[in-house]
Amino acid sequence: MQKFIFGLDVGGINIKAGIFTKNGILLGMSKVKNQIFTPKPDWAELSPEYSWENLPFLIKDSCSKAGINPEDISTVGICSTCPTLVPLDCNGNPLRNAIMNFDQRSYNLVLKLQNKINMDEIFKITGNRILSGAISVSSILWIKENEPQVYEKTFCFGHITTYLIYKLTGKFILDYNQASFTGLFNTKNNFSWNSLLIKKYGLEENKLPVLSPPTQAVGTLTKKAASITKLREDVLVAPGSADTVCSALGIGLIESKKIFISSGTSEIVSACLDKPEFDNRFLNRFYIDNLWIFHAATSTSGAAIKWLKSIIDYNNNIIDEEFFNLMVNLAKKSRVGSNKLIFLPYLQGERSPWWDSSARGVFFGLSMSTTISDICMSIFESIGFALKQNIRIAEELIGKETDEIFFTGGGSKNSFWLQVKSDIIGKTLNVVDFNETAMLGAAILGGICGGIFKDHLDAINNTRQKRFFKIKPNLANYKKYEKLSNIFNSLYESLKPEFKELNEIKLGYRTNSIEN
């Protein structure tokens, strides 16, 4: 009997599920829109329950499209945007919404920590600096300080995958690559919670989940979970993973010194490392077996499109895809350089390479001749400028310049935006002709845990995507973008003091949410 593997990808924009064969062929897929809540300025949250409530539908719908029954699924793998911290009680119930990776509520708390704790020591242990939202210890400490009743009731501080895996298996688990972004994990070796760091922060190790390598099965479904999902009780569940790690696995990235971009809510430049030799300008984590991976994360890519939609389509009358197409058509009426308009896409601070939670979005060069087409084009171009910054640093780290960059994710669907990025970067984009590599990577981890694959090498040999298309840069456009790119790079440095000063001004706030 053929064995089918199931992958679930919980993103900020969509929650997606798919049924795959052991050869990586997608038989059926389903998705529902997710929703990012911003109840206060600089906050970003997701509802964990929403993912669980939609899981039965996603399983049923993807199976229906695949022409199979839920009982035919052998393994389950889950990935999510990371970190998405959620405090759980002893029964696995969320005590509040999950705090997302680009949430900035703990900014001032992190500043205080930086003055008290040796950040070089932290980096040596964890491979990362302490960051608001992007490293989840900052969110744990914020909860302890600002929501003490939640902290006291918390049995386990996990990520959204921890919650979903508990609902499926009754176990509190966090995998190594997501643990790498907690700020409490020995990332280079031992792969364990660091008791000294936990004590230094005044936290309790017994409030943390059990750690697991991403290729070791958690267990099988509880009777209740099987009844709700209609899956068999003997289905094996993987311990979860981060979406970008799963994208790397989904495109078959195991070679070091090969750069790829994962495009979605955020834009992430990554490369595989065979030694944990980290640079503090990037995020660093365990990958799989004896491999590590670094990420240069631009916080708002697809999220910038969502922001513009919330401004223009404030009554939410236009569906997402139609609005994106509208933006593209408007941008095409502009020209290279957006009529000398440059946008800084720091709508929720910025991660790589600045690591500044106080950074904010800026339109630079507005004039009476600026049109809505220029504004749309400048948003598309801004992500290309940010990618170019991070790719240059990545090339320094791997010790060579690359002519081609692998590209995957939801942002690979539109040839216009891909061309803009290629023109700015000046490199050929080798685009995977399959957008759901994160979902495939999650399913692959399930397949490894369930013995369908011997190991990650066997999985990649069986599922590696072979269909690509190339986007080559227009060299004339590249030359035009060079000077604009230099201005983009210098704008942050020029405005850095003002960003900090603006952040320290206290004003009232309004409740908001971004519909996805």
Inter-axis angle of helices 320-331 and 415-425, nearest 10:
50
pLDDT tens track for 108-123: 899 899 888 888 999 9
pLDDT: which is higher, 317 or 63: 63
Q: Is the pLDDT of residue 509 over 70?
A: no
- Pairwise CA distance, residues 154 & 142, whole Å: 14
Q: How far is CA 379 from CA 100, 221, 474, in A?
A: 23, 45, 19
* pLDDT band with cut points at 50, 70 and 90 for residue 358: confident
Residues 138, 100: Cα–Cα separation, whole Å: 11
Residue 511 has pLDDT above 70, yes or no: no
Residue 23: the pLDDT is 93
CB contact set of 156 (below 8 Å; sequence gap of 6+): 87, 88, 162, 172, 207, 208, 209
Q: How far apart are CA 450 and CA 173, in angstroms?
A: 17
Q: Give the SS3 label for residue 405.
A: strand
Q: Is residue 33 predicted with pLDDT exceeding 50?
A: yes
Of 484 and 318, the structure prediction assigns the larger pLDDT to 484
Summarize pLDDT for 118-177 with one digit per residue, the tens: 889 999 999 999 989 999 999 999 999 999 999 999 999 999 999 999 999 999 999 999
Angle at which helices 160-169 and 48-66 pack, to 10 degrees?
70
**What is the distance between the alpha carbons of residues 147 and 409, in angstroms, rounded to a whole number?**
36
Residue-wise pLDDT tens digits, 427-463: 999 998 888 999 999 999 999 999 999 999 999 999 9
* pLDDT > 70 in the chain, percent: 98
Stretch 483-495: mean pLDDT, rounded?
A: 95
pLDDT at 77 over 70: yes
Q: How confident is the model at residue 418 (pLDDT cuts 50, 70, 90)?
A: very high
Judge whether residue 475 has pLDDT over 80.
Answer: yes
Q: Give the pLDDT confidence score for residue 476 in this predicted structure.
A: 96
DSSP lists the bridge partners of residue 274 as: none
Split at pLDDT 50, 70, 90, the class of 350 is confident
Query: What pLDDT sits at residue 290?
Result: 86
Q: Give the number of other Cβ atoms within 10 Å of residue 152's Cβ.
A: 9
- E strands along 299-448, which residues? 342-344, 362-364, 404-409, 428-432
Angle between helices 475-504 and 415-425 (to 10 degrees): 90
Residue 515: pLDDT band (50, 70, 90) is very low
What average pLDDT does the structure give for the chain? 92
Return the pLDDT at 473. 97
Task: Tell me 337's DSSP state.
Answer: T
Domains of the chain, residue spans: 302-389+487-504
Kindly report, residue by residue over 262-301, the tens digit of the pLDDT. Answer: 887 778 899 988 899 899 889 999 999 889 999 998 877 7
The CATH classification of domain 302-389+487-504, taken from the options 3.30.420.40, 3.30.70.1290, 1.20.1740.10, 3.90.79.10: 3.30.420.40
CB hemisphere CA count around 115 (13 angstroms): 4
Type and span of the H or E element at 227: helix 223-229
pLDDT of 516 above 60: no
Beta bridge partners of 260: 270, 406
What pLDDT, on a 0 to 100 scale, did the predictor assign at position 246? 94
| Residue 45, phi then psi, degrees to nearest 5 | -135, 155
Q: Which helix (H) or strand (E) holds 241?
A: strand 241-242
Backbone angles phi, psi at 330, to 5 degrees: -70, -45
Reference 437, options 413, 401, 453, 414; nearest CA is 413
Confidence of residue 53 (pLDDT cuts 50, 70, 90): very high
